[in-house]
C-alpha cells in the first residue's frame, strides 16, 4: 500500500472508519432494542408504560367490524365530495354559458377555467358511475373554451343573434332561379313544408333561435325526407353519416334516423346552435353547416386581416356550393315573406302530420301491415321514412300510425308472419361494367339492382361505386 497515492489511502481509512461506526451504532436487526429504564417519579410513583408504536397496533377481532364500517363511511363521504365538486363545476359551466351569450367573454373563460380545475382535482374510482359524468363535463367545458377563443379571434359586428337579410347581386341571382327554372320545385317544397314546419318553428322558439331557419330544408332537400345528395348527405337537413352520428342520429340495417324529420331536426338545431356559438354570426354558421366549420375557418385565417369583418368579403373564396348557400337561403326567406313582391303565389301547405305511436317488437313489412289494416302503404311509409327497408326492425320500435289505430296495428302485427329481410353482398363497379352484366353475374335483374341501390337509371354507375347485390332468396 506504500505505493498508493496519499489521497486514496486517506479515503480507504475514512471508509473503514465509517463502516465500523455504522455497525457499532444502535441495535442489530436481529436484536430487540433495550427497554427504556423507568425512573421513579417524585413520591415513589411509577410512570405509565410507554405505548407501542402506532404501526404495531393490533386491532382486536371484535373491533375489526367497526373499523371496516368506518372505512365504508369514509368512501361514501369521498363519493359525496366528488359529486358535489362535479355539481359545482356544472354550475360554473352554466354561468359561463350565460356570460358568453351576454358577450362577457373574459369572465366566461375565467369561470370555465375554474370549472375545469375543479373536475381535474376530483378523484373518482374507475368503476364509479360518476366517471362518465366527469368525462362528459370535461368535453363540454373544452368545447365552450374553443368557441370563445374562436370568437375572440374572429369578432363580428352586431350582436350576431339575427340573420341579416342582405340584398345584393348574389341574392338576386338566386331569386331569379327560384322564380324561374326552379319555380315548380320551390312551390312543391313550400307545400311539403306544411307537414313539419309548425313543429320545427316550435323547436326553434324553444331553443331561442331565429324562426327563419325553418326554411333551410327548402334549399337542402326541397323538404323531402329521403333526399340523397351526391355527397351521400341524407334527409331534409342533409346530414352525412359522420355528422349525423356526432349529433345522435343512429344508423343500422333497418333504421337511418337522418331520414326522420323530427329526430334530424333536433340534431340540426344542436349543430346550428354550436356553429353560431363558434363563429358568432348566422351567415358564417350557415356556410359552415354546408361545408364544415374547418373549411370556413381556413378561409377566415387566410385573409390579410386576422378577424371576420364582413361575411360577404370572403364568401366567394368558399367552395362553389357553399358560396351559393347563404344567398340562396336569404332568397328563400325573402320570397316566402313577400311572394307577391317577386311575382309568385305560393300554394297552400299540406296539413301537419298527426299520428299515434304503436310499440312493436318484430320485423314487419309496412306494405303487408298496411294491406292487413286496409290502408294505403304510403300512409305508413310517409309516417316512418327512417325505415330503410320499409320494415320495422328486429327489436322494440315506436312505429308511427294514423291517429286512433294503435290497438288495431298491434293486433294486425300479431297475425302477420315475421319478415325476414334479404341478405346482401357488395360489389365494387369496375371499368367497363354495366348493370346488365352485373345482374347476369349474380343471378338477379337490372330492375332489382336499380331499386336496391336507389339508382335513377341503369346507366348511372361508375368505376369504384359500391352496389348492394341482394341474395338469390
Catalytic positions are 220
Tracing cell 374553443 back to the chain, one arrives at 146
Which ranges of 302-376 would DSSP assign to H, the alpha helix?
320-337, 366-373
Tell me which long-range contacts 266-270 makes (C-beta under 8 A, separation of at least 24): 266/203, 267/237, 267/239, 268/216, 268/237, 268/239, 269/203, 269/204, 269/207, 269/209, 269/213
Distance CA 68, CA 74 (A): 10
Contact assessment for residue 415 and residue 408, using Cβ atoms and an 8 Å cutoff: no
Contact assessment for residue 314 and residue 200, using Cβ atoms and an 8 Å cutoff: no
Tracing cell 430487540 back to the chain, one arrives at 32
Distance CA 209, CA 111 (A): 25
Side-chain half-sphere of 226: how many Cα atoms within 13 Å? 12
Contact assessment for residue 368 and residue 416, using Cβ atoms and an 8 Å cutoff: yes
Distance CA 145, CA 109 (A): 7
Cβ atoms within 10 Å, residue 408 = 16
Amino acid at each position: 500500500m506504500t505505493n498508493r497515492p496519499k489521497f486514496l489511502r486517506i479515503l480507504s481509512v475514512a471508509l473503514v472508519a465509517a463502516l465500523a461506526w455504522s455497525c457499532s451504532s444502535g441495535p442489530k436487526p436481529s436484536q430487540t432494542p433495550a427497554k427504556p429504564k423507568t425512573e421513579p417519579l417524585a413520591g415513589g410513583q411509577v410512570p405509565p408504560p410507554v405505548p407501542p408504536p402506532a404501526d404495531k397496533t393490533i386491532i382486536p377481532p371484535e373491533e375489526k367490524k367497526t373499523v371496516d364500517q368506518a372505512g365504508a363511511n369514509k368512501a361514501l363521504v369521498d363519493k359525496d365530495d366528488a359529486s358535489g365538486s362535479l355539481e359545482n363545476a356544472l354550475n360554473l359551466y352554466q354561468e359561463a354559458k350565460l356570460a358568453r351569450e351576454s358577450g362577457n367573454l373574459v369572465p366566461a373563460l375565467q369561470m370555465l377555467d375554474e370549472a375545469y380545475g375543479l373536475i381535474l382535482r376530483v378523484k373518482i374510482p374507475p368503476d364509479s358511475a360518476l366517471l362518465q359524468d366527469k368525462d362528459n363535463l370535461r368535453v363540454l367545458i373544452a368545447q365552450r373554451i374553443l368557441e370563445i377563443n374562436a370568437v375572440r379571434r374572429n369578432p363580428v359586428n352586431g350582436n350576431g343573434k339575427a340573420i341579416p337579410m342582405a340584398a345584393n347581386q348574389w341574392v338576386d341571382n338566386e331569386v331569379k332561379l327560384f322564380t324561374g327554372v326552379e319555380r315548380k320545385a320551390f312551390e312543391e317544397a313550400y307545400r311539403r313544408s306544411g307537414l313539419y314546419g309548425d313543429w320545427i318553428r316550435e323547436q326553434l322558439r324553444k331553443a331561442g333561435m331565429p324562426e327563419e331557419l325553418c326554411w333551410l330544408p327548402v334549399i337542402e332537400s326541397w323538404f323531402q325526407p329521403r333526399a340523397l345528395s351526391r355527397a351521400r348527405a341524407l334527409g331534409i337537413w342533409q346530414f352525412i353519416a359522420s355528422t349525423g352520428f356526432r349529433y345522435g342520429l343512429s344508423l343500422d340495417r333497418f333504421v337511418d334516423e337522418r331520414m326522420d324529420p323530427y329526430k334530424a331536426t333536433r340534431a340540426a338545431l344542436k349543430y346550428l346552435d354550436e356553429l353560431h356559438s363558434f363563429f358568432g354570426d348566422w351567415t358564417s354558421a350557415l356556410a359552415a353547416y354546408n361545408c364544415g366549420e374547418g373549411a370556413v375557418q381556413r378561409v377566415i385565417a387566410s385573409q390579410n386581416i386576422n378577424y371576420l369583418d364582413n361575411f360577404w368579403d370572403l364568401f366567394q373564396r368558399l367552395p362553389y356550393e357553399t358560396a351559393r348557400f347563404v344567398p340562396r337561403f336569404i332568397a328563400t326567406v325573402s320570397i316566402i315573406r313577400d311572394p307577391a313582391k317577386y311575382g309568385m303565389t305560393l300554394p297552400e301547405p299540406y296539413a301537419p302530420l298527426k299520428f299515434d305511436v304503436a310499440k312493436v317488437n318484430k320485423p314487419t313489412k309496412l306494405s303487408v301491415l298496411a294491406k292487413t289494416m286496409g290502408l294505403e302503404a304510403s300512409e305508413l311509409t310517409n309516417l316512418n321514412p327512417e325505415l330503410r327497408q320499409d320494415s320495422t326492425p328486429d327489436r322494440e320500435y315506436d312505429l308511427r300510425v294514423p291517429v286512433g289505430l294503435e290497438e288495431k296495428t298491434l293486433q294486425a302485427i300479431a297475425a302477420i308472419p315475421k319478415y325476414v329481410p334479404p341478405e346482401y353482398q357488395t360489389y365494387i363497379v369496375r371499368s367497363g361494367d354495366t348493370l346488365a352484366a352485373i345482374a347476369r353475374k349474380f343471378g338477379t335483374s337490372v330492375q332489382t339492382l336499380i331499386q336496391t341501390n336507389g339508382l335513377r337509371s341503369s346507366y348511372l354507375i361508375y368505376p369504384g361505386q359500391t352496389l348492394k347485390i341482394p341474395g338469390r332468396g
